[in-house]
């Protein structure tokens, strides 16, 4: 499987003052891609509750079935993860995010993203 990622580590500013960014979950480590080559790492214990809640909601969907339908089984295109068309996923996904295997596209308010990044809100 091709795991090369192009431009997925840069968050996307959404029209409604929200940010979509990448989270990689391997083992008990969550790696958040904050942009400009900056990442933050958390464990199951240290991951912020708001992010845990998002991931819980995202995990409620059968993403493998959705990917088979809309990506014709080609789920190794990680560069598409943040840029996926809204029509690929349930409408609520535009507001919370989605998952492709161990990668998540998370959607949060801009001010919350700044707090996660360590900046001022």
Alpha helices in the chain (DSSP H): 49-59, 63-70, 93-96, 110-117
Whether the model pTM is above 0.95: no
- pLDDT surpassing 70 at residue 69: no
In this prediction, residue 70 carries a pLDDT of 60
Do residues 110 and 120 make contact, with C-beta atoms less than 8 angstroms apart? no
- pLDDT surpassing 50 at residue 30: yes
In this prediction, residue 93 carries a pLDDT of 80
**Which residue did the predictor score with more confidence, 15 or 21?**
21
**Which residue did the predictor score with more confidence, 46 or 65?**
46
pLDDT band at 6 (very low <50, low <70, confident <90, very high): very low
The token duo for 41 is: 């790492």
- pLDDT surpassing 50 at residue 58: yes
Q: What is the mean pLDDT of residues 90-96?
A: 78
User: pLDDT exceeding 90 applies to what percent of the chain?
Assistant: 40
Residue 115: is it exposed, middle or buried by C-beta count within 10 angstroms (0-12/13-18/19+)?
Answer: middle
First to last CA, the chain: 39
């Amino acid at each position: 499987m091709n795991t090369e990622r192009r431009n997925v580590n840069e968050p996307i500013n959404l029209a409604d003052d929200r940010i979509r960014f990448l989270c990689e979950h391997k083992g008990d480590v969550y790696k958040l891609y904050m942009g400009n080559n900056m990442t933050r790492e958390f464990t199951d214990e240290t991951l912020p509750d708001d992010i845990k809640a998002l991931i819980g909601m995202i995990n409620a969907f059968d993403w493998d079935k959705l990917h088979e339908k809309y990506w014709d089984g080609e789920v190794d295109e990680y560069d598409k993860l943040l840029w996926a068309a809204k029509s690929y996923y349930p409408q609520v996904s535009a507001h919370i995010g989605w998952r492709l295997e161990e990668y998540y596209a998370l959607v949060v308010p801009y001010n919350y993203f700044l707090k996660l990044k360590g900046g001022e809100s």
